[in-house]
């Protein structure tokens, strides 16, 4: 984590220069309880007392922390100046900002993006009162564009960690293929996969209750729900949503299975047709992802393809970014729906990592969905995951 923190703090300085912002201030307390997720990028640890992390467009990085957190910050090697205190943080922060005399101070709030909204309202009020005393309160601006760029533009080291998380998840999916069988429950399948995660010394990409999510047959919750005691039946479509965390970075994949009836050698035509439509829509979307495009344009490619083939519109965005968290980034491959705000219109950049995850319903069979992961390069998007090219058949 040490070199990664150094990379991201250095990257932040370049982003500030690009945006014409003098400095960026992250202000937190008791971060293990009510923290700002950006600390994972600029510190890789928690702090206790009021703490401030200042990165400037000139390449400087300062930290003001409680005495017992000083060594942790120094160990990152990312901060050229680390000040500690026992009684009062306010004078140190005021003197540091006065010496920098910034015309713009970016702080971590955002109306649009949850990943950029780490500054609590209480801490915002405390900060404003502090800066009012030195005449800098009117220089505060949102750090949304700073944080978005920092989290979205993956460094080579970040990409390799994501690849590691994908490879680990794919291996567990392969193991699950031989375990899944008619008569097993969704919960048994999930427990099998979790046992492999534990044996490999990995973490789950999201909460244990729904990672993995397992859905078999028709009339399920479809997504974002815990595995149940529902049994896998012959003739069912089964899908699994699963990811792991490897060296601090996540994977997020979905795979679809068909449970063969006795005597069947292939899935019914309507299931194969649905799977083929999903596979083709993913490939069309991948080809549409390129720097300069936006997520609404990419989403429309897959969405319109499935609509043109007679399937109902899927009720979610086509894809989201992945990084240290399964949902990590402001730009979204999605439609222009109110709940997504401006995210579908954010410009796609090289270095972003997206999922592509359309879905459709095959009546009386279940949900067909595949989720792949891609990285955006200058020439377009390339797969990070090994794409599911064929419907995975079980039994028979």
Pairing relation of β-strands 213-216 and 51-56?
A: unpaired
- 116 secondary structure, DSSP code: G
Do 120 and 249 belong together in one domain? no
pLDDT digits (tens, 9 = 90+) for 287-321: 999 999 999 999 999 999 999 999 999 999 999 99
Residues in the chain: 396
Do 133 and 169 belong together in one domain? no
Tell me if residue 239 falls in helix, strand or coil.
Answer: strand
**Residues contacting residue 127 through CB under 8 Å, at least 6 positions apart:** 25, 27, 107, 119, 140
**Residues contacting residue 230 through CB under 8 Å, at least 6 positions apart:** 185, 186, 216, 217, 220
pLDDT digits (tens, 9 = 90+) for 320-346: 999 999 999 899 999 999 999 999 999
Q: Average pLDDT over the chain, rounded to whole?
A: 96
Stretch 121-139: mean pLDDT, rounded? 97
- Alpha-carbon distances of 217 from 90, 228, 259, 358, 388, rounded to whole Å: 59, 12, 10, 18, 20
Stretch 211-221: mean pLDDT, rounded? 93
Work out the end-to-end distance of the chain between its first and last CA atoms, rounded to an integer number of angstroms: 47
Q: Give the relative orientation of helices 269-288 and 295-308 as an angle to the nearest 10 degrees.
A: 160
Q: Which residue among 119, 151, 183 closes a domain?
A: 151
Do 112 and 179 belong together in one domain? no
Do 378 and 243 belong together in one domain? yes
The Cα 42–Cα 39 span in angstroms is: 5
Q: Determine the pLDDT at residue 92.
A: 98
Do 204 and 268 belong together in one domain? yes
Tokens 């960690």 map to which residue? 161
Q: Determine the pLDDT at residue 69.
A: 98
Q: Give me Rg for the CA atoms of the chain.
A: 23
Largest Cα–Cα separation, the chain: 80
Residue 1 has pLDDT above 80, yes or no: no
Do 228 and 248 belong together in one domain? yes
Q: Which residue among 102, 136, 151 closes a domain?
A: 151
Q: Determine the pLDDT at residue 160.
A: 97
Q: How many CB atoms lie within 10 A of CB 122?
A: 10
* CATH number of the domain to which 235 belongs: 3.90.230.10
pLDDT digits (tens, 9 = 90+) for 56-108: 999 999 999 999 999 999 999 999 999 999 999 999 999 999 999 999 999 99
Q: pTM for the full model?
A: 0.92
> Token pair of 158, please?
């970040």
Q: Determine the pLDDT at residue 106.
A: 98
- Contact (Cβ atoms closer than 8 angstroms) between residue 328 and residue 322: yes
Do 354 and 291 belong together in one domain? yes
Do 210 and 135 belong together in one domain? no
Q: Determine the pLDDT at residue 221.
A: 81
Do 239 and 146 belong together in one domain? no
Q: Which residue among 136, 151, 166 closes a domain?
A: 151
Tokens 């003197």 map to which residue? 95
Q: Determine the pLDDT at residue 396.
A: 73
pLDDT digits (tens, 9 = 90+) for 355-388: 999 999 999 999 999 999 999 999 999 999 999 9
- Secondary-structure breakdown of the chain: helix, strand, coil percentages, each rounded to the nearest 5: 40, 20, 40
Do 171 and 86 belong together in one domain? no
pLDDT digits (tens, 9 = 90+) for 236-291: 999 999 999 999 999 999 999 999 999 999 999 999 999 999 999 999 999 999 99
Do 134 and 167 belong together in one domain? no
Secondary structure (DSSP) of 297-333: HHHHHHHHHHHHTTPPPPSS-SB-B-SSSSS--S--B
* Cβ-count burial 242-272 (b if 16+ within 10 Å, e if not): bbbbbebbbbbbbbbbbbbeeeeeebbeebb
Q: Determine the pLDDT at residue 43.
A: 97
Do 142 and 196 belong together in one domain? no
Q: Determine the pLDDT at residue 2.
A: 81
* CATH number of the domain to which 120 belongs: 3.40.350.10
The Cα 319–Cα 327 span in angstroms is: 10
Domain carrying residue 69 = 2-151
Stretch 9-37: mean pLDDT, rounded? 97
Number of domains in the chain: 2
- 73 secondary structure, DSSP code: H
> Token pair of 176, please?
């699950």
**Closest by Cα among 208, 239, 236 to 222:** 239
The Cα 87–Cα 64 span in angstroms is: 12
């Amino acid at each position: 984590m040490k070199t990664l923190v150094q990379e991201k703090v250095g990257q932040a300085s370049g982003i500030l220069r690009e945006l014409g912002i003098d400095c960026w201030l992250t202000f937190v307390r008791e971060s293990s309880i009510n923290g700002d997720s950006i600390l994972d990028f600029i510190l890789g640890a928690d702090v206790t007392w009021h703490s401030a992390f200042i990165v400037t467009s000139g390449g400087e990085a300062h930290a003001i922390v409680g005495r017992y957190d000083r060594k942790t910050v120094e160990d990152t090697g990312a901060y050229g100046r680390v000040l500690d205190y026992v009684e009062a943080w306010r004078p140190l922060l005021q003197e540091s900002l006065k010496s920098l005399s910034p015309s713009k101070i970016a702080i971590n709030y955002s109306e649009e993006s949850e990943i950029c909204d780490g500054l609590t309202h209480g801490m915002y009020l405390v900060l404003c009162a502090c800066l009012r005393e030195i005449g800098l309160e009117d220089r505060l601006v949102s750090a949304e564009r700073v944080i978005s760029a920092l989290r979205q533009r993956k460094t080579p080291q970040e990409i390799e960690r994501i690849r590691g998380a994908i490879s680990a998840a794919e291996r567990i999916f392969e193991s699950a293929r031989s375990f899944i069988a008619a008569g097993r429950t969704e919960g048994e399948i999930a427990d099998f996969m979790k046992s492999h995660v534990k044996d490999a010394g990995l973490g789950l990409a999201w909460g244990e209750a729904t990672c993995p999510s397992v859905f078999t047959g028709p009339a399920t919750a479809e997504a974002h729900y815990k595995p149940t005691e529902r049994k896998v039946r012959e003739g069912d479509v089964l899908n699994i949503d699963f990811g792991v965390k490897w060296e601090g970075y996540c994977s997020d994949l979905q795979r679809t299975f068909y449970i063969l009836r006795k005597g069947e050698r292939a899935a019914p035509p309507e299931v194969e047709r649905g799977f083929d439509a999903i596979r083709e829509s993913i490939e069309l979307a991948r080809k549409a992802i390129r720097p300069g495009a936006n997520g609404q344009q990419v989403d429309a490619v897959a969405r319109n393809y499935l609509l043109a083939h007679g399937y109902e519109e899927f009720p979610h965005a086509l894809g989201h970014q992945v990084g240290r968290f399964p949902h990590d980034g402001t730009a979204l491959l999605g439609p222009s729906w109110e709940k997504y705000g401006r995210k579908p219109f954010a410009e796609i950049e090289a270095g972003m990592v997206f999922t592509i995850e359309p879905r459709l319903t095959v009546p009386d069979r279940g949900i067909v969905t595949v989720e792949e992961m891609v990285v955006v390069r200058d020439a377009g998007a390339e797969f990070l995951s090994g794409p599911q090219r064929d419907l995975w058949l079980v039994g028979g």
